[in-house]
Structure 1
Amino acid sequence: MSGYFITLEGIDGCGKTTQRRLSAGWLREQGHEVVETFEPGDTVLGREIRALLLGGAHVPAAETELLLFLADRTQHVREVILPALERGAVVLCDRYTDSTRAYQLAGRALDASVLEAMLTIAELGTVPQLTLWFDLPVAAAFERMRSRVAGGEAASRFDAEHQAFHERVRQGFSAIHAAQPQRVQRVDASGDAQSIQQQVRALLGRYLA
Structure 2
Amino acid sequence: MSPAPGLWITFEGGDGSGKSTQAERLARWIGERGRTVLQTREPGGTEVGGLIRRIVLHHRGDIAPRAEALLYAADRAHHVATLVRPALARGEVVIQDRYLDSSVAYQGAGRVLDAAQVRDLSLWAAEDALPDVTVLLDIDPADARRRLDAADKPFDRLEAEQAEFHGRVRDAYLRLAEAEPERFLVVDAAQDPDDIAAVIRARIAVHL
After TM superposition, the structure 1 = structure 2 runs for residues 47-62 of structure 1, keeping only pairs within 5 Å, are 47-62=50-65
Name segments (4+ residues, structure 1) moved above 6 Å. none
8 Å contact 2:12–2:19 — kept in the other structure?
Answer: yes
Amino acid at match of 2:196: I
2:149 counterpart (128, 146, 151)? 146
1:113-167 deviation digits (Å, cap 9, x = unpaired): 432331221112321011000001111100111111x2xx332111110001000
What 5-or-longer segments of structure 2 have no aligned partner?
A: none
SS of 1:7's equivalent?
Answer: strand
Whether 1:185 and 2:175 are equivalent positions in the alignment is no
The 1:204/1:39 distance shift into structure 2, 3 A limit, reads: same
Identity %: 39
- CA-CA distance at 1:205 after TM superposition: 1.3
Whether 1:112 and 2:115 are equivalent positions in the alignment is yes
1:103 counterpart (106, 113, 137)? 106
Amino acid at match of 2:129: T
Amino acid at match of 1:161: E
After TM superposition, the structure 1 = structure 2 runs for residues 53-132 of structure 1, keeping only pairs within 5 Å, are 53-132=56-135
SS of 1:168's equivalent?
Answer: helix
SS of 2:10's equivalent?
Answer: strand
Deviates more, 1:115-124 or 1:19-28: 115-124
SS of 2:135's equivalent?
Answer: strand
Whether 1:172 and 2:172 are equivalent positions in the alignment is yes
CA distance in 1, matches of 2:115, 2:28: 37
SS of 2:137's equivalent?
Answer: strand
- CA-CA distance at 1:2 after TM superposition: 2.8
TM-score normalised by structure 1 residue count: 0.94
Per the alignment, residue 27 of structure 2 pairs with 24
Deviates more, 1:52-61 or 1:180-189: 52-61
C-alpha root-mean-square deviation of aligned residues, in Å? 1.3
SS of 1:125's equivalent?
Answer: coil
8 Å contact 2:100–2:119 — kept in the other structure?
Answer: no
What 5-or-longer segments of structure 1 have no aligned partner?
A: none
